[in-house]
Structure 1
Amino acid sequence: MSVTSTKRKEGGFGETVRVIVHALIIALVIRTFLFQPFNIPSGSMKETLLVGDYLFVSKYSYGYSQYSFPLSPPLFNGRIFGSPPDRGDVVVFRLPKDDSTDYIKRVIGLPGDRIQMINGLLHINGEPVKRERIDDFIETEESDRAIRVKRWRETLPNGVSYTTLDLQDNGFYDNTQEYVVPADHYFMMGDNRDNSTDSRVLSQVGYVPFSHLIGRAQIIFFSVREGDRAWQVWLWPWSVRWDRIFKIVR
């Protein structure tokens, strides 16, 4: 083999390595500072988010904390370029009780707010939140038969509107104490109210510090039926929820 041929092969290998390294750096920058993919493992945010949804979370929406970076290195305290979330945002955050675990819920209470559930109706600062009954949610993926679940349209004081599910009357957290949100903290709740471990459970979630917010859920980029896997491409014609792809999260 000639010297020229050897150098050409070595140069080609080196170029391939450089391309891979550059691609990894670009992916790391995008994941750290712009968008991070998440998948939904539980039904606590039904029907807004379903098990099997894959979505992008904008990392820049609320600024950056140590939890914005891979492995969460304690580089600094608090947030830089911080911008507080709006009431009603769907947010991914690091669980205060276990900062290795990510949760996704909706921001219901802002710092200083008083939050309470009374007979299944959300109250903010002593005022009931507007809620209207709409047609039932039809659950078809968790069992062999269709299950009807009560569905409500809830509208927060700032006008943000979304749907919530009510699996049972007089559920465990349909009547709660009054929670007072501390400064620099937020009160999170799942839209599937009877099937969500959220800020109502002080011993497991509680109030979420601003520093623990990772980003805002923006768009669903892929979705497969509950129980199926995204890598099972041979099932895609039947398992992919085509109507949910590129759906904006609200």
Structure 2
Amino acid sequence: MTILNKLRGLVPGGCTSSCENGKKKKKGQARETVEAIIIAILLALFIRTFILQAFKIPSSSMEDTLLVGDHLLVNKFSYGLQVPLPAMITLFGVRVPFFETKLYNAWGSVKRGDIIVFRYPNDRTKDYIKRVVAIGGDSILIKRDVLFINGKPTKTEKAVFKGSYVRGSSIIRDFGPYTVPKDRVFVMGDNRDNSYDSRYWGLEDPANITVPVSEIKGKAFIIYWSWDSVKASIRARRFLDIIR
């Protein structure tokens, strides 16, 4: 009887019913794992596209506000909804399709003093980070390193003047007067003597002196990690610093 009972429990393929249940359970667990991974990837892509994105500071153009090796988060929800759109880029001389986001349905206006991440006007495949010093309609004038907005000198407590390398160009001490077009911003690095910014971009293309608001990716708001590569040490004091 024992042998008969065992034979009755067999299913095609020589596996018992309990064995078959075990296989189904493993398949169910594998499917759940795959689904969880897919959901996590989609959620991460959603957050990166519409809400937050991490950036690393590669140069000294924003010193002393932002240091080389600072890792920061950019709020992509600050000024409006980032809408994904099909676009084309040139890769190794070939036009390649890809998706990018553009700012639409703006509910928060860009303000003077905001530190923003945006697409570089002369090469939209590159992201830059600078401080907004003038917005649409503003008249800007730089005279002997003093920045005037609408005829008034601005406070320069955030600006420093150190270093002397700006793409091989001589440092621009005087600029303007220039009126910022509507829906565009004029940006500069806090390290005025070592920042390639709106003062210089017009030398490449006069139409690209300023940044279109639609090309802004978001507002930098917090440093979550910082590494000093010169001293090979962590800058613990900069953790969770709010960017101003």
- Same-fold call, TM > 0.5? yes
Q: For the Cα contact (< 8 Å) 1:94–1:101, is it kept in 2? A: yes
Tell me the SS of whatever aligns to 1:37: strand
Once residues 127 and 80 of structure 1 are traced to their aligned partners in structure 2, the CA distance between those partners, rounded to angstroms, is 32
Q: Which moved more, 1:60-69 or 1:29-38?
A: 60-69
Report runs of 4+ in structure 1 exceeding 6 Å deviation: 67-70
Please point out which of 142, 153, 173 is paired with 1:128.
153
- Change beyond 3 A, Cα 1:225–1:78: closer
| 1:97 is the counterpart of 2:122 | yes
Identify unmatched segments of 5+ residues in structure 1: 132-152, 154-162, 229-237
Once residues 236 and 118 of structure 2 are traced to their aligned partners in structure 1, the CA distance between those partners, rounded to angstroms, is 27
Greater helix percent: which structure? 2
Question: Percent sequence identity over matched residues?
Answer: 41
Q: Which residue of 2 aligns with 1:148?
A: none
Q: Which residue of 2 aligns with 1:60?
A: 77
Once residues 182 and 70 of structure 2 are traced to their aligned partners in structure 1, the CA distance between those partners, rounded to angstroms, is 33
Once residues 245 and 216 of structure 1 are traced to their aligned partners in structure 2, the CA distance between those partners, rounded to angstroms, is 18
- Change beyond 3 A, Cα 1:68–1:246: farther
Once residues 78 and 51 of structure 1 are traced to their aligned partners in structure 2, the CA distance between those partners, rounded to angstroms, is 28
Q: Which residue of 2 aligns with 1:186?
A: 185
User: 1:11-30 deviations in whole A, cap 9, x for unaligned?
Assistant: 12111101111111111121
Greater strand percent: which structure? 2
Where in structure 2 are the equivalents of 1:137-148 lying within 5 Å?
Answer: none
Q: Which residue of 2 aligns with 1:135?
A: none
Q: For the Cα contact (< 8 Å) 1:65–1:211, is it kept in 2? A: no
- Change beyond 3 A, Cα 1:178–1:51: same
Q: Which residue of 1 aligns with 2:46?
A: 29
User: 1:193-244 deviations in whole A, cap 9, x for unaligned?
Assistant: 000011111135521001101100010011101368xxxxxxxxx5211000
Where in structure 2 are the equivalents of 1:104-119 lying within 5 Å?
Answer: 104-119=129-144
- Change beyond 3 A, Cα 1:46–1:68: farther
Once residues 68 and 217 of structure 1 are traced to their aligned partners in structure 2, the CA distance between those partners, rounded to angstroms, is 23
CA RMSD of aligned residues (A): 2.4
Aligned length: 208
| 1:173 is the counterpart of 2:194 | no
| 1:7 is the counterpart of 2:1 | no
- Change beyond 3 A, Cα 1:46–1:69: farther
Once residues 173 and 203 of structure 2 are traced to their aligned partners in structure 1, the CA distance between those partners, rounded to angstroms, is 17
Once residues 51 and 17 of structure 1 are traced to their aligned partners in structure 2, the CA distance between those partners, rounded to angstroms, is 38
Once residues 86 and 28 of structure 2 are traced to their aligned partners in structure 1, the CA distance between those partners, rounded to angstroms, is 34
